[in-house]
Amino acid sequence: MQVIDEETYLATHNASRQDYGDAALHKNIPIGNIRKRLVERQNAKDCDLTTRREALRKEYNDKVISGEIRPPTRIEQLIATASGMDEKAATQAARRLLEKMRKSE
């Protein structure tokens, strides 16, 4: 049985949430028809991505129900986060939580 969270599942199927939008779309584009076409094209891409993500979410949930895959437990998520870069606040917080859980056992 594969252990994978929903967002990772979506990303492995080319539907990452980071694919939404274009950070530099507004730069160096004159106002007018060109800008309008670019915004419409980006909007269509975003709508397509939303549709794909919804279909993949349903597929993920169906696989979870059938037992093919399972989402990670809270402890597994904390361990994955705690193994991150030392300077990240989330990594430090996960390590503190795991240490606190270990002490309370």
pLDDT digits (tens, 9 = 90+) for 56-76: 999 999 999 999 999 999 999
With pLDDT > 70 as the criterion, what percentage of the chain qualifies?
100
Measured distance CA(10)–CA(24) in Å, rounded: 24
Residues forming a β-bridge with 2: 69
Is the pTM higher than 0.85?
no
Residue 94 above 90 pLDDT?
A: yes
